Amino acid sequence: MNDPFPAPIPRPGKVYYFGTCVIDACFPQAGLAGVELLQREGVQVIFPQAQSCCGQPAHNSGFPDEARRVARHQLKAFARDYPIVVPSGSCAGMLKHQYPHLFAHEPDIEEVQRFSSRIYELSEFMVKVLQVRLEDRGEPIKVTWHSSCHALREMAIIPYAKTLLGQLKQVELVELQNERECCGFGGTFSVKQPAISAAMADDKVNDIVQTGAARVLSTDCGCLLNISGTLGYRQLSIPTQHLAEFILERTQ
Amino acid sequence: MTANARANILSRLRATTTQGSFAVPDAPVIAGLALSLEERIDRLRRMLETMHAEVQVVSSSAWLGALKARLRARGLNGLLYGAETPLGAALEAAWEDDLPPLVPYSESVEQCREQLFHIDAGITTTRGAIAENGALILWPSAAEPRLMSLTPGLHIAVLEAGMIFNTFAEAIDQQAWLQEGMPTNALLISGPSKTADIELTLTFGVHGPKELVVFILT
Amino acid sequence: MTKTADVLAFERNVTKALDDGQLRRNLRSAMTTLSQRRRALFADVEAFEKLRTQGQSIRRRALSRLPELLEQLEARCTANGIQVHWAETTAEANAICLDIIRRHGAQRVIKGKSMVSEEMHLNHFLEEQGIEALETDLGEYIIQLDGETPSHIIVPAIHKNKDQIAHLFHDRIPDAPYTEVVEELNAIARQELREKFRAGEVGVSGVNFAVAETGTLCLVENEGNGRMCTTAPPVHIALMGLEKVVEKLQDVPPLLRLLTGSATGQPITTYFNMITAPRRPGELDGPREVHLVILDNGRSSIYGDPERRATLQCIRCGACLNHCPIYTRLGGHAYGHVYPGPIGSILTPQLEGLDEAGVMASASTFCGACEEVCPVKIPFTEILRMLRNEAYARGESEHDVKGHGYRYTTVEALSWKSWALYNTSPGLARIGSQILGKLGQHLPMIGPLKEWTRTRIPPPFAPKSLHQLAQERGLDDDR
Ligand code: SF4
């Protein structure tokens, strides 16, 4: 059988883990779940304590100098040659695709390019590099899926996430009607254009509700923050969860 | 003012064309359609019909009969045609009294504006057609002026099947548009005039013809 | 943070648009239909990608030789008998039109759809001079009747539904019966306009592509009004932005397919009109004079910056509007400028200056839907980021966009500086996250948090950060 996702690199012994700032502050359990999924595959996970934010908020808001300062800090924190696994399509997109833009006219561009080439989104890494096979031990459940825009377009990793989800035999996935539409988070957009952001989040929540799913999954905690915040505000009790946490929960 | 504007604009554009890089990606090679004559006729017909044109594929010997059958008893006030074309000669030779009168377009628009805007039907030749997007190619001329395919409510177009090209690019190439030099007005027409400006509801017959009838002659 | 005038105006428009349930429903259904039709036409994703690269290549090739091509276009047009005019500003372009119209003693012009004429506010200008400018495209006709501007660059009246149009026609067109049947509404407009076409004195149109090698002006349309405006009157004025030129006739077929397919999912429009000359000796119709007005209005300054130049690749298909989650909720009017949606958000701040329209660059989540559909692959997010940078860049800015630095405030600059400091000082971050973890749900709802919690519950700050948990688990921290 042809492997639809050939491995880009041999299976490494060690990886770096970039936890992301949203996960760090609000969803550390999701971050840990990602760590455990990797460890379970026999990979040693290194978590540099010096790491912070990828710099995307400043990069997207018109403050490239500040974004570069923070980016260079990550370059230092992840100095060795290991692959860097990121449990977020958006932050991975920043590290992999935006850093080279941000540093296009900087003297350290080559170092940045080497750094960026080591970036993998978690589900991408699990499917492509680790070739994991999951065994579902959970009860039957109906879930729906939110594709973060950067996971979908910039990183194009949704096929990997859905491959993992597909391996969970008891899980029924009901897709959203407008799966490809943004939830309105957009980082600082959510507070700089709050009215538009809220209108988008509302529509997303309506779409979620009509699926009748018991849970909303995603690779991106930024979006989940927006979606769960809106669900909560509307007093709807549909839990949201990072894919890693969901997988761990069902395969232990 | 205009002379200055020209110089200023061009110098601004020139002042900057050398700075920085503006890469031009290579255009990929795209294989165009390569259909047989039968397939080209079929595709053209289907596409035109989707756009609410009526298409009749008919032999060159039978088409005048088919035209007459279509026009008889429709009560049209006239059929605008170009008298100086072979098509015009054929129509004159075959015309009969119970058909809408043939009206030649022989004076300039300034002299016959009223008539042009009130005549029910017009008939023109075509220079060819394009199978890929379902369009007729018209090159209006002194013998077949531009408004003939525009002001009448019914436009009848006559097409030689052999002139159906696979693609627009192929037509430009094989008919040597560049070498021949572009006419005052060249047109692609893919159906009767239409609009979807109200709630995207497609309706046919706006400012151009309400009906397009195409005879494809084999 | 203090809000600039453009931001305040935009916020007012946004509130109004979002509160208009009818508008949102009209837009939503229309945009869904348009994007479905587009997807159906370009169902073969690989083939579409190739075609799009071809489109991008053609447009970038043309732009990379823009000054020569414009000269070639002018020379060919002139040789063909088309009179070419250059205008640096919209005021100059308006004056050129007025002069032509006056010379022919015309009282009325009939117009085909042209976004450049919107940019010039030509109708308004002519009316001030006592000349009636009549829109003949059905959508444009509808909004002109209602005293509005287009809300979409392809389907200008898409914000209205048929009931609203039914009332409008009944109220504004003498003797028009009340009807909600689309065909009948269409027939009313046809009847009204036919008289005007017959009597038309000067026709005005836009230009979709201008072919340098032949001096040919190409126009796409469905209704036949474009052909009317360019054929029936004795004089035709074509208006084009200077970026519309392409090198060769063979560049036209792929662009045409990309344009009509991306706009409405049609393989081709009803009419594709290629005009190369005024009426030639012996010909019986067509205008005796054809004028081409080439407008700059800030485009040459965009051109000057190779990184912003891609903005000029646009072929005005409207696909980026149809797929934009923000446009589909606001419609075009909320943007407050002629070009709305993603293309408007990158083009307008550059044409009018950041201080006038910089807020448009902030109307994006960087979701990338526009980039995914744009038939000529404009890198929207890159340009948007650059514009956001410029909005804060004081002194000499890298890209020198008009009005740069207008948004700079010490407070905002300082807050990003502190953000950077926080994120580059592990010690500080550790203390910060401990405070966040402790205070968590008791943070004061001010600043961003206040905006966030207008429609959401507060973020669930965790008692322990991932940093802390990683340490507790004894994860190697690479030191
Ligand atoms: S920017 Fe691209 S998608 Fe938007 S109107 Fe222009 S060509 Fe179309």
pLDDT in tens, chain C (479 residues): 567 888 889 999 999 999 999 899 999 999 999 999 999 999 999 999 999 999 999 999 999 999 999 999 999 999 999 999 999 999 999 999 999 999 999 999 999 999 999 999 999 999 999 999 999 999 999 999 999 999 999 999 999 999 999 999 999 999 999 999 999 999 999 998 988 888 778 999 999 999 999 999 999 999 999 999 999 999 999 999 999 999 999 999 999 999 999 999 999 999 999 999 999 999 999 999 999 999 999 999 999 998 899 999 999 999 999 999 999 999 999 999 999 999 999 999 999 999 998 899 999 999 999 999 999 999 999 999 999 999 888 878 888 899 898 888 888 888 899 999 989 988 887 787 777 777 766 666 677 888 888 899 989 899 999 999 999 999 998 87
Q: Which chain C residues contact residue A33 at CB under 8 A?
A: none
Q: Which chain C residues contact residue A189 at CB under 8 A?
A: 362, 364-366
Contact B201 C53 (CB under 8 A): no
Span from the CA of C314 to the centroid of ligand 1 (angstroms): 5
Span from the CA of C318 to the centroid of ligand 1 (angstroms): 6
> In this structure, are residues C373 and C38 in contact, taking their beta carbons and an 8 Å threshold?
yes
Q: Are C357 and C369 members of one domain? A: yes
CA angle A36, A41, A43 (to 5 degrees): 80
pLDDT band at B19 (very low <50, low <70, confident <90, very high): low
Q: Are C219 and C339 members of one domain? A: no
Q: Are C217 and C235 members of one domain? A: yes
Residue where a domain terminates, one of C404, C424, C444:
C424
**pLDDT value of residue C2:** 66
Q: Are C191 and C246 members of one domain? A: yes
- What are the backbone angles phi and psi of residue B6, rounded to the nearest 5°? -60, -50
pLDDT averaged over every residue in chain A:
95
pLDDT beyond 60 at B17: no
Number of domains in chain C: 3
Q: Are C477 and C347 members of one domain? A: no
Residue spans in chain A of domains classed CATH 3.40.50.11810: 133-251
pLDDT beyond 90 at B78: yes
CATH number at residue B104: 3.40.50.10420
Q: Are C209 and C338 members of one domain? A: no
Tokens read off for B184: 């005052």
Residue type at C456 in one-letter notation: R
Closest Cβ–Cβ partner in B20, B142, B207 for C190: B207
Residue type at C372 in one-letter notation: E
Contact C276 B19 (CB under 8 A): no
Domain extent, residue C104, equals 71-300
pLDDT beyond 60 at B1: no
Closest Cβ–Cβ partner in C329, C457, C475 for A229: C457
Q: Are C415 and C453 members of one domain? A: no
**pLDDT value of residue C327:** 96
SS3 B25: coil
**pLDDT value of residue A215:** 97
C-alpha C258/C-alpha A158 separation (Å) is 27
Contact C388 A31 (CB under 8 A): no
| Domain-located, residue C382 | yes
| Domain-located, residue C307 | no
- Pick the residue with more confidence: B193 or C478? B193
Could you tell me what percent of chain A has a pLDDT over 70? 99
Q: Are C454 and C338 members of one domain? A: no
Residue from B117, B188, B121, B116 nearest B159 by CA: B188
| Domain-located, residue C312 | no
Number of domains in chain B: 1
C-alpha C384/C-alpha C310 separation (Å) is 12
Q: Which of C57, C94, C243, C270 to mutate to test the interface with B (most CBs of B within 10 A)?
A: C270
CATH number at residue C269: 3.40.50.10420
List, as one string, the DSSP characters of chain A: ---SS--SSPPPSEEEE---HHHHHH-HHHHHHHHHHHHHTTPEEE--TT----SHHHHHHT-HHHHHHHHHHHHHHT-SSS-EEES-HHHHHIIIIIHHHHTTTSTTHHHHHHHHTTEEEHHHIIIIIS-------SPPEEEEEE--HIIIIIS--HHHHHHHHHH-TTEEE---TTTTS--S-TTTHHHHSHHHHHHHHHHHHHHHHHHT-SEEEES-HHHHHHHHHHHHHTT----EEEHHHHHHHHH-
Q: Chains meeting B at 3+ CB pairs closer than 8 A?
A: C
Q: Are C379 and C248 members of one domain? A: no
Give me the mean pLDDT over the A70-83 stretch: 96
| Domain-located, residue C94 | yes
Spatial strand order in the sheet of A240-242: A171-173, A141-146, A215-218, A240-242
pLDDT averaged over every residue in chain B:
94
> In this structure, are residues B143 and B85 in contact, taking their beta carbons and an 8 Å threshold?
yes
Q: Are C140 and C254 members of one domain? A: yes
C-alpha C475/C-alpha A55 separation (Å) is 24
Show Cβ contacts of residue C287 under 8 Å, excluding neighbours closer than 6 positions: C203, C230, C231, C233, C234, C235, C236, C278, C279
Span from the CA of B25 to the centroid of ligand 1 (angstroms): 18
Enter the CATH code of domain A133-251. Answer: 3.40.50.11810
Q: Are C292 and C330 members of one domain? A: no
Q: Which residue, by CA, sits nearest to atom 8 of ligand 1? A: C317
| Domain-located, residue B19 | no
Tokens read off for B61: 């010997």
Residue from A190, A201, A223, A215 nearest A88 by CA: A223
| Domain-located, residue B6 | no
End-to-end alpha-carbon separation of chain C, Å? 41
Name the residue of chain B whose CA is nearest to C226's CA. Answer: B207
SS3 B84: coil
Contact C252 B209 (CB under 8 A): no
Say what the ipTM of the complex is.
0.96
Domain extent, residue B90, equals 55-193+200-217
Neighbours of C275 (CB within 10 A): 32
C378-392 burial, b at 16+ Cβ within 10 Å, e below that, comes to bbbbbbbbbbbbbbb
| Domain-located, residue C249 | yes
The tally of CA atoms less than 13 A away on the side-chain side of residue C422 is 16
**pLDDT value of residue A1:** 44
Pick from A114-118, B92-96, C368-372, C392-396: least confident: C392-396
**pLDDT value of residue B137:** 98
Span from the CA of A185 to the centroid of ligand 1 (angstroms): 24
C-alpha B97/C-alpha B160 separation (Å) is 27
Contact C270 B194 (CB under 8 A): yes
Tokens read off for B166: 């696979």
Q: Are C375 and C291 members of one domain? A: no
Please give the C-alpha separations between residue A36 and each of A33, A164, A170, B6, C178, in angstroms, as whole numbers: 5, 15, 22, 67, 69
> In this structure, are residues A204 and A144 in contact, taking their beta carbons and an 8 Å threshold?
no
**pLDDT value of residue A81:** 94
